[in-house]
Structures are given as C-alpha cells and as structure tokens.
Amino acid sequence: MIEVQHLSKTYGSTTAITDVTFSVEPGEILGFLGPNGAGKTTTMRILAGYLPATSGTAKIAGYDVHDHSLAVRQRIGYLPETPPLYPEMTVEGFLHFVARIKGVSSGDRPGKVTAAINRCNLTEKRQVIIRKLSKGYRQRVGIAQAIVHDPPAIILDEPTVGLDPRQITEVRNLIKNLAGTHTIILSTHILPEVSMTCSRVAIINRGQIVATNTPENLMTQLTSGAGYELEITGEAPLAKQMLQKIPGVSLVESMPHHLHLGENRSWLRVILEPGKEPGKEIAATLMRAAFDLHEMRRVNATLEDVFLELTTSEKNSPPWTNSQIETTQVITEINSNVEVSEAITEINPNIEQGELP
C-alpha cells in the first residue's frame, strides 16, 4: 500500500533525511519512531504531499506522491500534531465541509460524515461547537476529518500528544479499530503505545532508518540484557562466582539500590546471552549451595530500551535498566529441599471558511 524507496530531503546544505526506505502493507499499523529532529515529520509531510522530496520515490496505493500528487491526496487522510479544526463550526458541519473539499459527492456526503462520526464515537457531540470540546474530543474530530472520505491510507502525527491516560486509551482503541480497512502510519514518542498498537515499527535516527521489524523481534534481536533479578541470603560474591559459570549467563552483578536488606541478604542481576534461558539451572545452583532464594523474577527489555540503544551512541548501563518485569516468580523463604518451577490529511485549512451547501 505504501512504498518508500531511497527518499532524501535537503534544505540548502542541511540534510533532513537520507536514503529512507520502508513499506507498509495493506491494513497494517506502522509505528514511525525517532528522536526530535530525526526526520519523522519531514518524511510524513512528503508522504502527505505537502513537501517535495529532493530524491527518491514514495508511492501510496500505486500513485507516486510527486507525479500524481492530487490522486495521492484523495487517497490519504492526514492528522498533523495539531488537529486542523475550525473552532466555530459544529462537529457535523466541519466534517461536511471537509468531505466537500475532499471531493466526496453531495449524495455520498451525509453517509460518509455519519460513518466517521460513529467510528470516532462522536454521535453525542455532532452538534457541539468544536471550541467547546475537550482536547480528547478535538483529537477525535481530527481523526474523523482524516477518515471522512474513507481513504485507504492514514498518516497520524503524534495523535495522543497532550492527552490524559483515559483519552490515550480511547484514541488507541480507535486507531486499532481503523486497522484492517485502512493502512496507518503512526508517529509517536509514547513507546508503550507503539507496543500496544502497532504491528511493525520503523525507527529513524539522524535522517536514516536504523531498524524495521515487529516490536517483539526488535526487543529479542536488537537488545541484549534480558535476564533475572534474584533476592538471596548468603555470600553474594560466592553466588556471583557460581552463577557466572552457568552456560547462557553473560554477566552477574549486584544491584546497588537493593543493598540494605539485612545481614547477608542481597539482590543480584543475572544478564543472559541472547536466546538463552537457564532459569532452572540458576535456581538449582543456588539451592544446591544452600543459598536461600527469596525471590526470582524474569525481566525483559522494553521497546524503550531498543529505541535508546539504536538512537544513542553511548550505553552507560545494561539495556534492561528501565525494563519491565514480564512475569514475577516469588519464592518465599525457599531452601534446598523445595523443588523450584520456572514461571512470562492534514487538510490544514488553506481554504477560506464559507457557507456549506
């Protein structure tokens, strides 16, 4: 549905993006991630037809965004970071206006507007003046204007920025419901939203694509450092020495923020080699040596860890420093006699507001 090949854009002597290449399959949601200034907005504006590329090609539904700009605009919906709304119009009146300038025929217009209102859960707000809406509802109206002409492709730039957690959940569910019938590119800096919403991710850094894959594969293939956190009673230096010898263990280290646990009680972090899972052997080794294992929890890297690894040059700590606990094994006052089991478009109103037909 969307094909981007070797796309570049320069502003004088400044290069914004270089050799950007990726694709989005029909019905897919692609998360487009990158730090500020990485080239996200430039790429999305080129795809939306608002900015010409210096070189390379981009096609949407088979139409080149440069050679067939009008055809592309008819086939995309674009929501910039700030929704392009007319605050003095009602929700329904605004969507009729957008549908008209998007080329929807007068006969089809009422049905298209009603469909967009229903999909965005705006039925109770259809006659409300837009300036009286909350930010969450204004964001819904912004998405409604992007889909009112039923485009096959939708480009959303930071659609959840500035929303509270409840509003973020509502917009996330709306975007997920649009998948399948629409192809979506979603730019956001809220990385947990990407994991919950997008089927694939493209990460751009300094104007170049540095990774494209599913969130799960990125976390598995591009980040080392998954492992276990252990709370034990016993000599920590001896435990570290023993655990370091287990096949599949990359590193064993003390966790400084857990030092004050009482006499001879401490936390250890066991970092695994990629693809290795020696959890049972870790627990068994400690118990055979008469260590008390109070807690053992599996820790996986997050998409944020992957993002930081790919967009920063320095890695001052293991990539799981800000990781999330996928599953937790709580082993209470365990000893060696206990068996251990392992638990895981923009319309950007450039048109003068006028009377609706």
307 within some domain = no
Q: Residue 261 is part of which domain span?
A: 223-301
In angstroms, what CA-CA distances link 176 with 28, 84, 182, 198?
10, 22, 10, 8
Please identify, among 213, 235, 267, the residue that sits at the C-terminal boundary of a domain.
213
Q: pLDDT value at position 221?
A: 67
Which of 307, 329, 241, 349 has the alpha carbon at shortest distance from 32? Answer: 307
Q: Are residues 140 and 67 in the same domain?
A: yes
CB 197 within 8 A of CB 32: no
- The backbone torsions φ and ψ at residue 63, rounded to the nearest 5 degrees and listed phi first, read -105, 130
84 within some domain = yes
Please identify, among 192, 213, 234, the residue that sits at the C-terminal boundary of a domain.
213
Q: Are residues 113 and 173 in the same domain?
A: yes
Q: Are residues 35 and 163 in the same domain?
A: yes
Q: pLDDT value at position 276?
A: 83
In angstroms, what CA-CA distances link 177 with 28, 51, 118, 122, 204?
11, 29, 12, 15, 26
Q: Are residues 120 and 150 in the same domain?
A: yes
10 within some domain = yes
- Return the residue matching tokens 């591009």: 222
Q: pLDDT value at position 164?
A: 85
Q: Are residues 201 and 160 in the same domain?
A: yes
CB 123 within 8 A of CB 117: yes
Low-confidence ranges of the chain (pLDDT < 50): 314-357
**CB burial of residue 210 (10 Å; 0-12, 13-18, 19+):** middle
- Using CA atoms, how far apart are residues 306 and 303, in angstroms rounded to an integer? 5
121 within some domain = yes
Q: Are residues 185 and 64 in the same domain?
A: yes
For the domain that residue 112 is a member of, what is the CATH number? 3.40.50.300
68 within some domain = yes
pLDDT tens readout for residues 138-186 = 999 999 999 999 999 999 998 888 788 888 888 889 899 888 889 999 9
Instruction: Evaluate the CA torsion angle 10, 34, 200, 31 in order and state its sign.
Output: negative
331 within some domain = no
DSSP state at residue 90: B
DSSP per residue over 143-187, as a string?
HHHHHTT--SEEEEESTTTT--HHHHHHHHHHHHHHBTTBEEEEE
Q: Are residues 122 and 236 in the same domain?
A: no
Tell me the whole-structure pTM to 2 decimals: 0.70
237 within some domain = yes
**CB burial of residue 248 (10 Å; 0-12, 13-18, 19+):** middle
Please identify, among 213, 246, 261, the residue that sits at the C-terminal boundary of a domain.
213
Q: pLDDT value at position 288?
A: 93
- What domain count does the chain have? 2
Structural tokens at position 96: 């009729």
Q: Are residues 206 and 229 in the same domain?
A: no
Q: Are residues 181 and 42 in the same domain?
A: yes
Q: Are residues 188 and 90 in the same domain?
A: yes
Q: pLDDT value at position 188?
A: 82
Q: Are residues 18 and 71 in the same domain?
A: yes
Contacts of 110 (CB under 8 A, 6+ apart): 96
pLDDT tens readout for residues 99-124 = 999 999 999 999 999 999 999 999 99
Q: Are residues 87 and 171 in the same domain?
A: yes
- Using CA atoms, how far apart are residues 192 and 327, in angstroms rounded to an integer? 17
Which of 47, 298, 339, 11 has the alpha carbon at shortest distance from 183? Answer: 47
